[in-house]
Amino acid sequence: VLVDVAACAIEAVDASRVLADEHGIELRTDVDAGCFVWGEADLVTTAIGNLVGNAISYSESGTRVSVTVHAAEDLVEVAVTDQGVGIDAEEHERIFERFYRVDAARSRATGGTGLGLAIVKHVAENHGGQVSVWSEPGHGSTFTIRMPLAGQQSSGGPASSGTSTESLSAAPAPS
């Protein structure tokens, strides 16, 4: 089905407001209307929510997390930017692996499992896109999901609701 990415972002941000308040984080959004992708809205909302949750969890009180949705050529870019602890460059690939957490001691305090970014990666790929990270350790991170806009594709789209859910649950183990 057609998914309104701005609506997903707003839903994900709204669901994160309590967590943000608890952590003393200011949430900002800047979203373009009219960015549609083929896929599953719940999955896109979950993926953006995972990024926002991380941005809040790995940042100090008094900092800002911003979520933007913009169209760029035939893609929609969803960017989640924080002013948090950042991630060393040598960790950038591994953080998308299931159960991988950068600093066991530090991460334990946030009580996660290390699945959040693996899910983000699956959702992005199941929507024909990808996720990337930019980070400056000690200053912050930006995670960007890029997905092809609906209507720009010749076929009906890479991810009908059926295939995206199926491939997510049937994901092979990393080799």
Applying CB under 5 A, the residues found at the interface with Mg ion are 54, 112, 116
To the nearest whole angstrom, how small is the minimum distance from the Cβ of residue 149 to Mg ion? Answer: 27
Cβ atoms of 13 and 27 within 8 Å: the answer is yes
The residue among 103 and 166 lying less far from Mg ion, judged by its C-beta, is 103
Which of ligand ATP, Mg ion, none does residue 84 bind to, with CB < 5 to 8 Å depending on kind?
Answer: ligand ATP
The residue among 35 and 85 lying less far from Mg ion, judged by its C-beta, is 85
The residue among 45 and 54 lying less far from ligand ATP, judged by its C-beta, is 54
To the nearest whole angstrom, how small is the minimum distance from the Cβ of residue 68 to ligand ATP? Answer: 15
Question: Closest Cα partner for 122 from 170, 67, 61?
Answer: 170
Q: Helices 41-57 & 161-169, crossing angle to 10 degrees?
A: 50
3-state secondary structure of 59: coil
Which of ligand ATP, Mg ion, none does residue 95 bind to, with CB < 5 to 8 Å depending on kind?
Answer: ligand ATP
Residue environment code for 128-144, b if the CB has 16+ CB neighbours within 10 A, otherwise e: bbebebebeeeebbbbb
Which of ligand ATP, Mg ion, none does residue 40 bind to, with CB < 5 to 8 Å depending on kind?
Answer: none
Residue environment code for 61-75, b if the CB has 16+ CB neighbours within 10 A, otherwise e: eebebbbbbebeeeb
Q: How far apart are CA 123 and CA 43, in angstroms?
A: 6
To the nearest whole angstrom, how small is the minimum distance from the Cβ of residue 16 to Mg ion? Answer: 12
Tokens of 108: 């334990």
> Considering only residues 11, 16, 58, 79, which one is a binding residue for ligand ATP as defined by CB under 6 A?
58
| Contacts of ligand ATP in 93-122 (CB under 6 A) | 95, 100-103, 107, 112-118
Residues forming the site for ligand ATP (CB under 6 A): 50, 54-55, 58, 82, 84-87, 95, 100-103, 107, 112-118, 141
